[in-house]
Chains A and B, each alone.
Chain A
């Protein structure tokens, strides 16, 4: 049995761990709330963009889609995957779920005879892809907790240009969807060709004058739509990251506390054993003295 001193040391370190994980839990909880608000604050912009887009789509004939980001190509050979992942770990199974998902996605595409290139947003996904697939062609890392859209514009421009120049036929994004505090799901979405958003009912069909022209407006609108979808994915991934970390740290704190309880128990046992030993030694010594005197 370990000595009382050793056990005391282990109790102390378990308590320190619990303090740290508890602090991390609280930090993540507040960051998560802020991240959720950030996702919400993109709504006015997105809603408006969508309203204008669906307005335009109604007026356009199908042939006008050719050469825009709406064009669905008959044969798909080259695919780009934007993998959104956290920069940091200690967030439970979030990262491994995402990476497994991404790995499966790549395998699946390859089985269909498609070539996949990865654009990584976030360190975890980039490192994984560099190690196992070596197909990362652009990246954006160290975005922080509230990135601006500009921070991921490089990646966005890259995939949009790639599609326009026919280097890619389809572009997907993988990120963690924020379902609720306890639940995040890694999802893949098709970014390009742009799937027209469902027509919004709140828009009063106004007969706009389009300047320079309808097609030009749509042509300028679509890349922005892709950019902001990607931006939303990144923000939602940040919210997921923080909530996953919060839960992971909650578990870590309660594990540490369980450990402290167990260790305290064995510490007390060890202490009592020591006392019993000492008492019986003294008693034995005393008995021996008495025996000698007799």
Chain B
């Protein structure tokens, strides 16, 4: 019995399909969600989100959000989410460098918080992309 997974961001609906399992990074550690899971509302952290459908596994870089779990339905409200094969590694690397430079420069508090968030996001994107390149994801 599959369950329905919905991933939405503030910008758009990213995904809406039937899946068998969702592994998500929560603030308290990674959890796996199978159909008929108990109802749960949890805060997601920066990390790798993977979705298993049959014998196919898709990985996403997630930068935080919320997950609502119902027995037959999972909804993820993501801050940002990117599929592993859509990540441009070179771009992610540049973003990481830029964020690091910003952190070094030590400008206003606002910029610092933003740069820190960008850095974490870039790192997670790189990790997902690297995992994919090693063939672990295919």
Interface residues of A, Cβ cutoff 8 Å to B: 38, 41-42, 44-46, 48-49, 52, 138, 148-150, 153-154, 157-158, 161, 206-212, 216-217, 220-221, 224, 227-228, 231
User: A52's contact among B39, B66, B79, B111, by CB below 8 Å, is which?
Assistant: B66
Contact A41 B12 (CB under 8 A): yes
25 A-B contacts, Cβ less than 8 Å apart?
A41-B12, A42-B10, A44-B6, A45-B9, A45-B77, A48-B68, A49-B77, A52-B41, A52-B68, A138-B110, A153-B114, A161-B109, A208-B40, A209-B39, A210-B41, A210-B42, A212-B28, A212-B42, A216-B27, A216-B43, A217-B42, A217-B66, A224-B66, A224-B79, A231-B10
User: A211's contact among B10, B41, B114, B117, by CB below 8 Å, is which?
Assistant: B41
Residue of A nearest to B111 (CB): A154
Interface of B is mostly: mixed
Residue of B nearest to A138 (CB): B110
Interface residues of B, Cβ cutoff 8 Å to A: 6, 8-13, 26-28, 38-43, 66, 68, 70, 75, 77, 79-80, 108-111, 113-114, 117
Given contacts A48-B68, A157-B113, A212-B27, contact A42 B39 (CB under 8 A): no
Bound CA–CA A279/B109 (angstroms): 82
Contacts of A228 in B (CB 8 A): 10
Contact B43 A48 (CB under 8 A): no
Q: Distance (Å) between the CB of B121 and the closest chain A CB?
A: 9
Contact A220 B66 (CB under 8 A): yes
Q: What would 14 more interface pairs be, CB under 8 Å, given A52-B68, A149-B11?
A: A48-B8, A148-B11, A153-B114, A154-B110, A154-B111, A208-B41, A209-B38, A211-B40, A212-B27, A217-B43, A217-B66, A220-B43, A221-B66, A224-B66
User: B39's contact among A46, A206, A221, by CB below 8 Å, is which?
Assistant: A206
Contact A44 B13 (CB under 8 A): yes
Contact B110 A158 (CB under 8 A): yes
Contact B80 A150 (CB under 8 A): yes
Bound CA–CA A217/B44 (angstroms): 10
Q: Distance (Å) between the CB of A132 and the closest chain B CB?
A: 23
Residue of B nearest to A220 (CB): B43
Bound CA–CA A153/B64 (angstroms): 14
Bound CA–CA A231/B12 (angstroms): 13
Contact A44 B8 (CB under 8 A): yes
Contacts of B28 in A (CB 8 A): 211-212
